[in-house]
Structure 1
Amino acid sequence: FPGTGFVELALRAGDEIGLQRIEELTMAAPLVLPEKGSVALQVSVDGTGRLGVFSRPDGTDAPWTQHATGTLGQGAAPAAGLGAWPPADAETLSLDGFYDRVLELGFDYGPSFQGLRSVRRAADGVLFAEVELPQQMSGQYGLHPALFDAVLHTLGATAHGERSRLPFAWEGVSLHAAGATALRVRLAVDGDTASLTAVDPAGTLVLSADALTLRAVTPDQIGQVDSLYRVEWSVPVPSVDA
């Protein structure tokens, strides 16, 4: 189950109680989906905005496993957009064979999750990417987890080594517009932390995140990783910041 799916769940839960911003969201354990059967998900939020995401095999009385903890808060002022696109001083990076290289590392992204279309790197190291959903993908989401996950592939496309980095903790995440099917993204990376701003092709602000902390992992650390990307689920579209 993609880490970006937990962000979508948290934003949807916050919308129910009038808290449109994820102050912080930390992954506690991955959710590996079974080859057969289904999983029950539970998202709980208390009166202070403390949030938890849990799962257990559907239709059982098994103990709940906690996958994420966090805090929700009031919406913040919208971030600035991206300005001129593409950036004048940015170098275009090759994506030839990117998903094949990731597969060699043991991470099998299915066709629905291969949405990274271009990556550019400015002289100061800031990354600019374009991502889009396959045409057959649909559903009611604030930000489709497959589209959001493709944003994070930008970091893998510019990394080298034998391990991939996956989301571990988020800070200051706000959804400003719902239902995007394509994004232009700015990512400023500092070690294992990145901030990001995403707009749609018309330049409308869609999502901003003050900080994303990544952790390097190998497939054997989280089990059958290819199962993480074989899920279709739908929740009502959350409202967005004005």
Structure 2
Amino acid sequence: LTLQAPLVLPETGAVQLQVSVGEADAEGRRTVEIHSRPHDLAGATTAEWAAHADGVLAVADAAPDKHDTPWPPARATSVDVSDVYDTLAEKGLVYGPVFRGLRAAWRLGDEVFAEVALPEEAANAADAFGLHPALLDAALHAIGLLQLADSEGMRLPFAWSGVSLQAVGATTLRVRIAPDGRGGATVDLFDEAGLPVARVESLTLREVSREQMAAAASAAGDESLFQVEWVPVVGDPDEAVSWAVLGDSPLAEGG
């Protein structure tokens, strides 16, 4: 799955989301495309669909093995995550309460290990998803621990390869992130018993500046739709009212 453009939600209004899945080829693979456009509550939208991502769906390979090593890993160094979201906000990435799921993290060589969890209000809805998007997003926040001092911008997910889901309804995760040898990262997600939940064989990141993120948010606001609504005014029928007629009008004759 390759991300082409961010999907930024406006502060007010809604967005229509379109997911298109193609026919299966000889190997059972299907193309998938994701588009969006502003949603006109009056049903008269003329906005064009904007492309956000495209990819390929295929039958998953065998599930990863159970993670039987001690947790956290021996000799891993604990990382303070108490101010990670404040630091990300300074770089232009502001996360709401549901998406602040990073609870603990460790480093061991080039690898990063983390624990993430959904807040109670989101955990109650976890069964509605294969993998709750806020929980997946929180798992990727651990990547940022290696970048916070690198530059003014941030490296955000750009291309996903070999994504598979082994379990559904998770509310907490153990995360292992390691270099994939091709300039990206491999992400393994496990439950508290070490059983596999999901895996990303290769995640490629792309540098995004604060200015680019601000421009994307501004563009979402530019698509706001306005409507004229007639609001009746109720007055006192016994109250005297004075009128003035400006210009030529039959109403002015005989006045």
Match of 1:157 in 2: 145
Paired with 1:219 and 1:179, the residues of 2 have a C-alpha distance of 34
What do residues 25-63 of structure 1 show as CA deviations (whole Å, max 9, x unaligned)?
000111111111100101001113011000011132321
Say yes or no: does 1:167 pair with 2:143.
no
Paired with 1:182 and 1:93, the residues of 2 have a C-alpha distance of 19
Q: What aligned pairs does 1:13-32 form with structure 2 within 5 A after superposition? A: 25-32=1-8
21, 25, 33: which one aligns with 1:52: 33
Paired with 2:82 and 2:217, the residues of 1 have a C-alpha distance of 21
Q: Give the TM-score normalised by structure 2.
A: 0.75
Show structure 2 runs of 5+ residues with no match: 25-29, 219-255
Match of 2:133 in 1: 145
Match of 2:76 in 1: 90
200, 204, 207: which one aligns with 1:209: 200
Say yes or no: does 1:135 pair with 2:126.
no
Quote how far apart the aligned CAs of 1:225 are.
6.8
Match of 1:187 in 2: 177
Say yes or no: does 1:196 pair with 2:187.
yes
51, 65, 73: which one aligns with 1:80: 65
CA contact (8 A) 1:107 1:226 kept: no
CA contact (8 A) 2:6 2:216 kept: no
216, 219, 240: which one aligns with 2:210: 219
Aligned length: 202
Match of 1:21 in 2: none
Quote how far apart the aligned CAs of 1:104 are.
1.2
Paired with 2:153 and 2:188, the residues of 1 have a C-alpha distance of 25
Show structure 1 runs of 5+ residues with no match: 1-24, 228-242
| Aligned residues: CA RMSD | 1.8
Distance 1:166 1:209, change over 3 A: same
CA contact (8 A) 2:92 2:213 kept: no
Q: What aligned pairs does 1:23-42 form with structure 2 within 5 A after superposition? A: 25-42=1-18
Q: Given residue 52 of structure 1, which amino acid in structure 2 is its aligned partner?
A: E
What do residues 91-148 of structure 1 show as CA deviations (whole Å, max 9, x unaligned)?
11111311111111121111111110111111x3211110000111143111111111
CA contact (8 A) 2:67 2:195 kept: no
Quote how far apart the aligned CAs of 1:81 are.
2.7
Paired with 1:41 and 1:202, the residues of 2 have a C-alpha distance of 36
Quote how far apart the aligned CAs of 1:226 are.
7.4
Paired with 1:201 and 1:88, the residues of 2 have a C-alpha distance of 17
CA contact (8 A) 2:38 2:47 kept: yes
Q: Which has the higher contact order (CA 8 A, sep 6+)?
A: 1
Quote how far apart the aligned CAs of 1:89 are.
1.9
Runs of 4+ aligned structure 1 residues displaced above 6 Å come to 224-227
% identity of equivalent residues: 46
Q: Give the TM-score normalised by structure 1.
A: 0.79
CA contact (8 A) 1:108 1:225 kept: no
Which of the two has higher C-alpha Rg? Answer: 2
Q: Given residue 112 of structure 1, which amino acid in structure 2 is its aligned partner?
A: V
What do residues 172-212 of structure 1 show as CA deviations (whole Å, max 9, x unaligned)?
00000001000001110358510011111122210011000
